[in-house]
Structure 1
């Protein structure tokens, strides 16, 4: 047997073992997720959100939303953020050097004037040009921060954090639509836990094809475009079986940039968002976990399995691939930057479980898929493939994927009853069976391209996502 043949044959054993390992990991995550969802909905009624909303001693929360060239939708989006049902909050909009009429529209609509503001730059950012408040008492919860463009959401968010007055802040996008009780729901983990909660997140839903009225969701629909439809499926699986499982294990390494609540002191202590990161959300959480372990402090990061936020996602190939390339590059950048966490017992479950999971089950998977395909082709053309083995492995992985995804959809429909008709649920289920052959290869391609850009040190570019805006109901 030649050396090449030995390598190819040995690869069969490796990929077989890895497939079993991968399936076992996801079985554990699925069981953990189900138990955590069950626990959440049982405990939901012990501290009802109405108690929090009506409390005279509510924890103050600042909602931070960067805005860059959002003139078309900025007014309705800000009014939506101001409509939160919570007794003690503020909305901090950061105009990140917009070149359109974003600031002018804000000044006109909300009757803003420039004010003296005691601004302490606890986190370094591009220069802040001024702060604006409304002369109309109706908008007394609104603060506008005008700054020079920092070429990243991270820099704008940091300026917003520096300007907040409360101990907790929600980071979101100005074009996101939040449920009116979002703030109350996100605050709950900070009140219920006996450990220090440093961050919490919640489920995001895709707004494409949904209709909104007066800044709130009016009717939810399954997206009617190719890429948005598959992303809806991806989001359901990720938030139901991914985030909830890691929440139970206190192993969340990612709180979505679209919606997350944070302990401000901890964020400032670690230096805020890193403006050179292409995955600033995962990088910040990694740094916060690392900091808490080094300070030898007990902490938790929680996740809420409720749809609290709707956001628009790319629905054309170019923008979608650009986004996923950036995400992949942000992942490898974060893993490389914090590589000393890898199997380091000093960092407890972060170093021994969470970080290795992201290396072996997130980062390396696209690479192994391509290598596996190469070995299959070598077997076919040179050595004669072990057909029964290949068929068994392929069917097992495919069926397991179908089972996990359908279970996610079932749980999602039980909890949220998201769609307005069974026909839309049927379309979603059909997508499950074709995703591995149509959508997944594009994700693999984007991941490998992102890794290559990182290794080749290609110039970092965020790129702009063209948005169509929200559909409004009459």
Structure 2
């Protein structure tokens, strides 16, 4: 049943992906309306990365008189503030400093008090943008019903097995965002370069702590009030994922915990026709897939390895040596319906990686990243899903860092 629902969901997204694009018209470069924009860069102990982040904003292909950059040092204990002084004499850059309060949302709200432009965006201080990213947003903001736009997030320069796995995962995310956008079902506005109309915060209020996932909460709040969130596949932002296992699990536990707790806070979105695909399909299936993984992972591992062990024991009795032959006569291989569904799921996953890369013009359609991703999601992802689900049930708070 779980595999069937997963396949149904993947096929549903696939159909949505190829559906004719509606509601957004292509804008000629000469006809672009550049709205006044402020980009907030919250940073905490980012002495080694913040320069690249800010420089990418200064290099944006956007009118200088319409772009303001606010950098908030959120109580850093390293040399971040000293590093930021190189920008103090640039008129369109404003440096702010505050005491750390344990979560990013307070830094964002502190900066929002100094924003007077039509648009306001966020860029995490470990991320950087392509030069045309903000300009590409403008064709979406030509539509007055669009209240926010999110980018294509890409893992940059992966240098470890886990980062390679995350790269393929993020590439699948590009495909998912494209499909969700067509369904008006985007439920997260990620920290790396989401841009909003200032009107959103003027009417709905500032960021909330939201279980350290303020980027998900504000998106759910917008969906609750019928505010449209668009996706610009041409607006590419680069980020770096955790290099080692411990910080990766910590990050994902916080993400999944925040998703589950925010879903409890916004449970009125679920199973309501008013919210269409978001409330009837996308959010319920997201919760269901977490629940099923938590329940079935221990059982599936047992069912997987027990027959293999018994099979090995039987072959050992007749002198089987695993080193001398791996020839398989496929005529005698018994393929079950479960295995067929699993194989189709793998094929769909590979296809979504390809299509995600196609969206951003990445010609490397098939790389080793895909195999790393399958390993991560088979054996590692269930660990953070189980831990975050447990923490969500007992309401154990997750630390931001």
Q: Check 1:30–1:456 CA distance in 2 against 1; reply closer, same or farther (3 A cut).
A: same
Q: Which residue of 2 aligns with 1:451?
A: 389
Decide whether the 8 Å contact of 1:82 with 1:141 is kept in 2: no
Q: CA deviation at 1:333?
A: 0.8
Q: Which residue of 1 aligns with 2:316?
A: none
Decide whether the 8 Å contact of 2:137 with 2:149 is kept in 1: yes
Instruction: Give the SS at the match of 1:163.
Output: coil
Q: Which residue of 2 aligns with 1:332?
A: 260
The yes-or-no answer on 1:91 pairing with 2:69 is yes
Q: Check 1:414–1:431 CA distance in 2 against 1; reply closer, same or farther (3 A cut).
A: closer
How far, CA to CA, are the matches of 2:269 and 2:183 in structure 1? 18
153, 162, 169: which one aligns with 2:104: 153
Decide whether the 8 Å contact of 2:236 with 2:360 is kept in 1: no
Q: Which residue of 2 aligns with 1:105?
A: 83
Q: Check 1:445–1:59 CA distance in 2 against 1; reply closer, same or farther (3 A cut).
A: same
Provide, for residues 224-251 of structure 1, a one-character-per-residue CA deviation record: whole Å limited to 9, x for no partner: 41100110111111211x1111111111
Q: Which residue of 1 aligns with 2:399?
A: 461
Decide whether the 8 Å contact of 1:198 with 1:300 is kept in 2: yes
Give the alignment of 1:6-155 within 5 angstroms: 17-35=1-19, 39=21, 46-49=26-29, 51-52=31-32, 58-87=34-63, 88-107=66-85, 109-110=86-87, 112=88, 134=89, 139-155=90-106
Decide whether the 8 Å contact of 2:172 with 2:349 is kept in 1: yes
Q: Which residue of 2 aligns with 1:248?
A: 182
Instruction: Give the SS at the match of 2:387.
Output: helix
How far, CA to CA, are the matches of 1:267 and 1:349 in structure 2? 25
The yes-or-no answer on 1:357 pairing with 2:285 is yes
Decide whether the 8 Å contact of 2:173 with 2:356 is kept in 1: no
Q: Which residue of 2 aligns with 1:203?
A: 152
The yes-or-no answer on 1:440 pairing with 2:393 is no
Q: CA deviation at 1:431?
A: 4.3
TM-score by length of 1: 0.72
Gaps of 5+ in 1: 1-16, 113-133, 210-222, 293-298, 381-387, 464-474
How far, CA to CA, are the matches of 1:28 and 1:346 in structure 2? 19
TM-score by length of 2: 0.84
How far, CA to CA, are the matches of 2:254 and 2:4 in structure 1? 30
Decide whether the 8 Å contact of 2:40 with 2:121 is kept in 1: yes
Q: CA deviation at 1:49?
A: 4.1
The yes-or-no answer on 1:344 pairing with 2:272 is yes
Q: Check 1:23–1:412 CA distance in 2 against 1; reply closer, same or farther (3 A cut).
A: closer
Q: CA deviation at 1:283?
A: 1.4
Give the alignment of 1:375-386 within 5 angstroms: 376=303
Q: Which residue of 2 aligns with 1:117?
A: none
Q: CA deviation at 1:374?
A: 7.7
Q: Which residue of 1 aligns with 2:128?
A: 177
Gaps of 5+ in 2: 308-331
Decide whether the 8 Å contact of 2:24 with 2:140 is kept in 1: no
RCO (CA 8 Å, sep 6+): is it higher in 1 or 2? Answer: 2
Q: CA RMSD in A?
A: 2.9
Q: Check 1:94–1:34 CA distance in 2 against 1; reply closer, same or farther (3 A cut).
A: same
Q: CA deviation at 1:157?
A: 1.3
How far, CA to CA, are the matches of 2:373 and 2:83 in structure 1? 43
**Higher mean C-alpha deviation, range 98-107 or range 196-205:** 98-107
Q: Which residue of 1 aligns with 2:165?
A: 230
How far, CA to CA, are the matches of 2:221 and 2:57 in structure 1? 28
206, 220, 226: which one aligns with 1:272: 206
Q: CA deviation at 1:366?
A: 1.9
How far, CA to CA, are the matches of 2:104 and 2:8 in structure 1? 37
350, 368, 371: which one aligns with 1:406: 350
